[in-house]
A and B are shown apart, each in its own frame.
Chain A
Amino acid sequence: MPFNIIVCLMGLFVMLSIASTVVFVLKKIKPQKDYKELSHRVKSWWIMIIIFSLAMILSKKVSILFFGFLSFLALKEYLSMIPTRRADHRVLFWAYLSILIQYYWVYSGWYGMFLIFIPLYVFLLLPLRMVLIGQTQGFLNAAGTLHWGLMTTVYSISHVSFFLVMPKIGGLVAGNGGWVLYLVFLTQFNDVAQYITGKTFGKHKIIPKVSPNKTYEGFFGGVIVTCVLAYLIAPILTPLSPIHSIIAGLIISTAGFIGDVVISALKRDLGLKDSGAMLPGHGGILDRIDSLTYTAPLFFHFVRYLYY
């Protein structure tokens, strides 16, 4: 386990401890205000970060399993939210099975297969399975929504784990895990930064029809904070040059915002507030990894193009 990863994970726990202290103090100073959601949020963060840290520290296998399980939970949440056809029971079983296969390609480091398995083979084969069942009513809807879900929850998220099997290159100060930690930390922190700057300075709504709480101030606040952090942490975790690290910050903050509002649009379409109830204070798994579904593939290909 590279020393730099341990240092960064420790840094995360220090940040969490500060957050917990702030919540504790807030509760003491203003007992009349309701801090339930905030305190639930911080508690959920503790659990998520402890699990994530364990996954990062234990071994490459465990990390890949962790992201596979994350995809499984996200796909399950997605399929539980959308209307599915009774006839597609077995098709959904195959869709779940594709998670195992996709992460096996990751584990084996077969880049080409990893890249085309879901967009090509699954895309072609699941409709075939549907046709064999023979229910044509609602076919396009079922095939389309299922594939969208697989691309979002399985294909996109698996890009995070593919960093772990990339070849060794010079300047990898924190090993391949450094990329993962860099991407996941910046994506999640960008969410928090957008939320906080939005709450503090937010005035002008950016996309009121989809997400009425999102403001220009929040968005740009997130971009600035994320770019600064991306620049500062890059030397500890990655071989990114200063200019590349700032571009990475721009990609992650912008893509993270888009991922967030895309999942918001999905929930709005379905008439839901949260995607689930797994993480108290946050909602469901999809609410937490919505940004990652956009940042992971984009950051991955940015890095791969420049450094591999």
Chain B
Amino acid sequence: MNTILRYIFLNLFVRLIVNIILGVNVRNRDRLPEVGPAIIIANHNSHLDAMVLITILKQKAMKIVRPVAAMDYFLKNPLLSWFSQKIIRIIPLRRDVKFVKEDMFSDCYDSLKKNEILIFFPEGSRGEPEKISVFKSGISRISEKFPNVPIIPVFMHGLGKALPKGEAILVPFFCDVFVGNSFQWTGDRGSFMDMLGTRMAALEQEGSYL
């Protein structure tokens, strides 16, 4: 039942919003993963980010994609919790500091072991619209554990204008999505975060004429 609802929601409702009301130009769509395990890393400005990333994937990949999202926000009431977990199929993440020392990413590890595709927003929060804030290093812990899983950096532009944090009304804007070449674990956390930073900055540059 939830699978059918998910299929209908993503393919009719979300596709309608993403393709007709917004309009998304994807540069280098073929670089997106078709099979798992893989990790898509993107900048985060809007609730639309995960929706757009899910719908630009091929149907086969769409079935196994899991956005990693904050537990305190998405599980705050039963309805949103059902919707987030069963329809969007998020992996809830505890952001509260107390639990950081435990393995906060254990659900992510399980998911990668099941050959799923993770969507990860290393900024941790949507933040100021259309600005990249500092990447948190949690993602490097996941990559360290799964050094062979490809990391695909994606830069999105315009969604923070369409539906910024704190706004309930969606305003149509064309959005651009730049998909980068995949890379893998670099050997240590510092160089991994540097690599991620450079790749994202390069993708942002690609769209700087906009």
Contacts and interface: CB of A to CB of B under 8 A. Distances in A.
Contacts of B158: 80
Question: Among the interface residues B129, B158, B173, which one has the most CB atoms of the partner chain A within 10 A?
Answer: B173
Interface in B143-162: 158, 161
B26 to A, nearest CB: 10
A168 to B, nearest CB: 35
B12 interface: no
B173 A79 contact: yes
B172 A96 contact: yes
B171 A96 contact: yes
A88 to B, nearest CB: 9
B122 interface: no
Contacts of A278: 23
B103 to A, nearest CB: 38
A80 B169 contact: no
A214 to B, nearest CB: 22
A80 B167 CA distance: 18
A260 interface: no
A89 B172 CA distance: 10
Interface in B164-179: 164, 167, 169, 171-175
Contact of B169 (A72, A73, A77, A89): A89
B171 A93 contact: yes
A272 B129 CA distance: 22
A129 interface: no
B172 A72 contact: yes
Interface string A55-85: 0000000000000000011001101100010
B174 A77 contact: yes
A80 to B, nearest CB: 4
A100 interface: no
Contacts of B175: 80
Nearest to A86: B129
Contact of A272 (B171, B172, B173, B209): B209
Interface string A278-303: 10000000000000000000000000
Contacts of B174: 76-77, 80, 276
Interface string B168-210: 0101111100000000000000000000000000000000011
Contact of A93 (B161, B169, B209, B210): B169
Interface residues of A, number: 19
* Majority secondary structure, A binding face: helix
B164 A86 contact: yes
A59 B173 CA distance: 29
B172 A76 contact: yes
B123 to A, nearest CB: 18
A92 B172 CA distance: 9
B55 interface: no
B25 interface: yes
B23 A89 contact: no
A77 B161 CA distance: 13
Contacts of A51: none
Interface string B1-43: 0000000000000000000000101000000000000000000
A96 B210 CA distance: 22
Contacts of A212: none
A271 B209 contact: yes
Contacts of A1: none
A276 B210 CA distance: 9
A92 B171 contact: yes
A277 interface: yes
A90 B171 CA distance: 8
Question: Among the interface residues B23, B164, B173, B174, which one has the most CB atoms of the partner chain A within 10 A?
Answer: B174
A76 B23 contact: yes
B171 A89 contact: yes
A277 B210 CA distance: 11
Given A76-B172, A77-B174, A273-B209, 19 more contacts: A72-B172, A73-B23, A76-B23, A76-B173, A76-B174, A80-B158, A80-B161, A80-B173, A86-B129, A89-B161, A89-B169, A90-B169, A92-B171, A93-B169, A96-B171, A96-B172, A272-B209, A276-B174, A278-B23
19 contacts: A72-B172, A73-B23, A76-B173, A77-B174, A80-B158, A80-B173, A86-B129, A86-B161, A89-B164, A89-B167, A89-B169, A90-B169, A96-B171, A96-B172, A271-B209, A272-B210, A273-B209, A276-B25, A277-B25
